[in-house]
């Protein structure tokens, strides 16, 4: 029987980064993935690094996102140095384009919200916005520049993290995913794999939306797959430096000249097929935002499955089973939250404390919700 200090279920960007942190701390770490590591949500993402909340319910996540974004420059430098690979990190800011007729009020609201959350945001008139990004539609009425935001090539980042983890001593096992946690009374003793058990002092579930399929994990990580369709475009004569947003789509330029476009969120189980309707929605919105993309070549289309929790917030931290931690439910912010997630897990395991409050994201919150619901049922 294999024995480790830490066994991690899931070899995506989160699992890989946790393995890197813990291996560098001197622990014997193993990562187990059901297929080739890094080929699920980590591979399918757009790689946007923005802590700005998408809706009011996600405001609580802003401090965690800010903390992770602040870690990124040092994090990618370390990963690139250890792995010898590049990550495509682009700290060039993002620009949100507004088409509204009532742009003045909308702009004022957005700027006030960002400033209230401690996020830098600058209002731009239409002409200034197109000076920053000439590819923008001439009908754009105004824009918001968020200079501290960035993007990264998520596929390159994931590959570099996994390489860095292995060079730091972590072992990565592909094609051998976790079927169940190995529980002995109130302690997690490791993982039950396809054909064997592995023993570990600490067990971390970081298998994205597949975490819920691991026996014994659903009460702590009731995640479901949120499908996102994407397209990669190449426009030889179109220049784009920053991530561009509209209310319908985002466009993410890569160092290799490609532009990744996406927007969809669909709940269709574990179906990863692209659809004509989904791709049409993305392409029409992309061309509306940057008309020059009408002549772009479509180089790739794909779909990925994000891990979404019932409240759309991450699921991070220890459970009421000794030795079991959860790190999933990152939804659309998995790439952004990778550095801080890895750091917090390492701090908890090594020091039994964390530098950023993660209580709001506890896996135990779903147990509390069930108890509260039971207590409020009529007799």
What CA–CA distance (Å, rounded) separates 95 from 72?
Answer: 19
Q: What is the pLDDT of residues 98-112, one digit of tens each?
A: 997 778 888 999 999
Name the class of domain 2-84+154-222+310-375: alpha beta
Q: What is the pLDDT of residues 227-237, one digit of tens each?
A: 999 999 999 99
Strands (DSSP E) contained in the chain are: 2-9, 29-32, 48-49, 94-98, 122-125, 142-146, 150-151, 171-173, 178-184, 187-193, 197-205, 224-234, 243-245, 250-253, 258-262, 297-308, 315-318, 324-328
- Every domain of the chain and the residues it spans: 2-84+154-222+310-375, 94-147, 224-308
Given this model, what pLDDT does residue 363 score?
A: 98
What CA–CA distance (Å, rounded) separates 101 from 186?
Answer: 59
* Helix/strand number for the chain, H first, E second: 9, 18
* Options 2.60.120.10, 3.90.25.10, 3.30.70.940, 3.30.9.10; CATH of 224-308: 3.30.9.10
pLDDT above 90 (res 377): no
Given this model, what pLDDT does residue 368 score?
A: 62
- Its sign, for the CA torsion 273, 274, 275, 277, is positive
Q: What is the pLDDT of residues 328-345, one digit of tens each?
A: 999 999 999 999 999 999
pLDDT above 90 (res 352): yes
pLDDT above 50 (res 374): no
The one-character DSSP state at 180 is E
Q: Are strands 187-193 and 178-184 parallel, antiparallel or unpaired?
A: antiparallel
Q: 149: which residues sit within 8 A by CB, 6+ positions away?
A: 48, 49, 50, 51, 52, 69, 93, 94, 243
Give the model's confidence band at 379: pLDDT under 50 very low, under 70 low, under 90 confident, else very high: very low
Would 2-84+154-222+310-375 and 224-308 be classified into the same CATH topology? Answer: no
What CA–CA distance (Å, rounded) separates 219 from 208?
Answer: 15
């Amino acid at each position: 029987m294999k024995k480790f200090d830490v066994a991690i279920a899931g070899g995506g960007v989160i699992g890989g980064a946790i393995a890197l942190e813990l291996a560098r701390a001197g622990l014997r770490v193993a990562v187990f993935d059901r297929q080739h590591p890094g080929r699920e949500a980590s591979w399918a993402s757009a790689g946007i690094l923005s802590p700005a909340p998408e809706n009011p319910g996600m405001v609580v996540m802003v401090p965690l996102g800010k903390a992770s974004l602040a870690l990124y420059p040092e994090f990618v430098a370390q990963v690139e140095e250890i792995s010898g690979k590049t990550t495509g990190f682009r700290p060039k800011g993002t620009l949100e384009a507004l088409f509204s007729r009532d742009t003045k009020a909308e702009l004022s609201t957005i700027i006030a919200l960002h400033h209230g959350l401690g996020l830098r945001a600058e209002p731009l008139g239409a002409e200034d916005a197109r000076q920053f990004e000439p590819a923008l539609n001439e009908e754009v009425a105004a824009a918001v520049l968020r200079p501290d935001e960035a993007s990264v090539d998520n596929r390159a980042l994931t590959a570099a993290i996994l390489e860095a983890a292995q060079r730091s001593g972590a072992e990565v096992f592909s094609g051998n995913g976790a079927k169940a946690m190995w529980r002995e009374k109130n302690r997690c003793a490791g993982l039950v794999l396809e054909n064997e058990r592995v023993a570990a002092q600490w067990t971390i579930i970081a298998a994205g939306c597949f975490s819920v399929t691991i026996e014994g994990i659903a009460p702590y990580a009731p995640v479901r797959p949120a499908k996102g369709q994407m397209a990669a475009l190449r426009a030889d004569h179109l220049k784009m430096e920053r991530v561009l947003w509209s209310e319908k789509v985002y466009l993410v330029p890569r160092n290799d000249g490609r532009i990744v476009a996406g927007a969809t969120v669909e709940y269709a189980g574990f179906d990863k097929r692209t659809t004509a309707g989904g791709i049409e929605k993305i392409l029409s919105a992309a061309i509306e935002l940057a008309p020059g993309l009408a002549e772009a070549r479509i180089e790739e289309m794909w779909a990925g499955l994000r891990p979404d929790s019932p409240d759309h917030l991450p699921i991070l931290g220890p459970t009421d089973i000794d030795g079991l931690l959860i790190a999933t439910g990152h939804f659309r912010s998995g790439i952004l939250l990778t550095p801080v997630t890895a750091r917090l897990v390492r701090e908890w395991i090594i020091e039994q404390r964390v530098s950023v409050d993660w209580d709001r994201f506890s896996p135990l919150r779903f147990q509390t919700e069930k108890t509260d619901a039971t207590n409020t049922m009529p007799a």
